[in-house]
Homo-oligomer: A and B are copies of this chain.
Amino acid sequence: MGAFERRHALIFAAAPETEYGYIRAFLKKHPDALIACADGGLRHARALGLHPDFMISDCDSMPEVEGAEVVRLRPEKDDTDTQGCLREVFRRGCTEATLVCATGGRIDHMLANLSLLEEAYAMGGRLTVLDRQNQIVLHEGGCQKFKMPPEYAYFSLVPLDAVLTGVSIENAKYPLRDAVVTRAGMVTISNEAIADSFSVTIREGRSLVIFSRDWTRVL
């Protein structure tokens, strides 16, 4: 049994972040979250007054390290610090993680972070990517029911694969029934739940489900 068994990990990546309100809200709901930092993500954790339980670092964007457990990586490696951090906390027993400070700045890093949703699933776990306007999860296939988080206005289906088949959306403003949805020309953006939950069925193909809100609605 890993040292972090059954802990929900809050992973700080190192993308630029200007607003921490959404992380404070997460911590209120998950006061026992394991605090994990990927390299420069430590700056964000410190800004929130948090002491990391776990840190992984190649010291290329931040010379300092801090944490109850610290793993050092060589700077020149195939994967990003955030990929390494997710793998390590899962290896130590976490099966659920929320990744923050992961969407601003470099889009290659952001898309690599979104690819972790698939990687977490392949590892038998579950990841949520969170920022001030978005909450992103992976559709796990088949028929999946989602509770619409009340702080979001929209949900979107964003195909990862070029073609999704057998797509049905129920309890939504724009329902679908056994449809084909393509990545190019995607038509499944800005849907709305008509009750407090909705369901999405996908027979074939991988997709993200993104809850989002316009920024003006947050202010």
Contacts and interface: CB of A to CB of B under 8 A. Distances in A.
Interface core residue of A79, A109, A154, A174 (most chain B CB under 10 Å): A109
Contacts of A80: 189-190
Given A107-B133, A107-B136, 11 more contacts: A61-B214, A78-B174, A78-B187, A105-B215, A107-B210, A107-B212, A108-B156, A108-B212, A115-B183, A115-B186, A160-B160
Query: Taking the full assembly, how many copies of this chain does it contain?
Result: 2
5 contacts: A80-B190, A106-B154, A108-B190, A111-B208, A161-B161
B160 A133 contact: no
Contacts of A105: 133, 214-215
A101 to B, nearest CB: 13
Interface in A181-207: 183-187, 189-190, 206
Interface residues of A, number: 43
Given A83-B185, A162-B206, A154 B119 contact: no
Contact of A115 (B107, B154, B185): B185
A104 B108 CA distance: 14
Interface of A: 16, 61, 78-80, 83, 103, 105-109, 111-112, 115, 118-119, 122, 131, 133-134, 136, 154, 156, 158, 160-162, 174, 183-187, 189-190, 206, 208, 210, 212-215
Nearest to A156: B108
A76 to B, nearest CB: 8
Interface of A is mostly: loop
A154 B107 CA distance: 12
Interface core residue of A79, A112, A208 (most chain B CB under 10 Å): A112
A16 B133 CA distance: 11
A210 B136 contact: no
Nearest to A134: B107
A185 to B, nearest CB: 5
Contact of A111 (B109, B112, B158, B213): B158
B79 A106 contact: no
A81 to B, nearest CB: 11
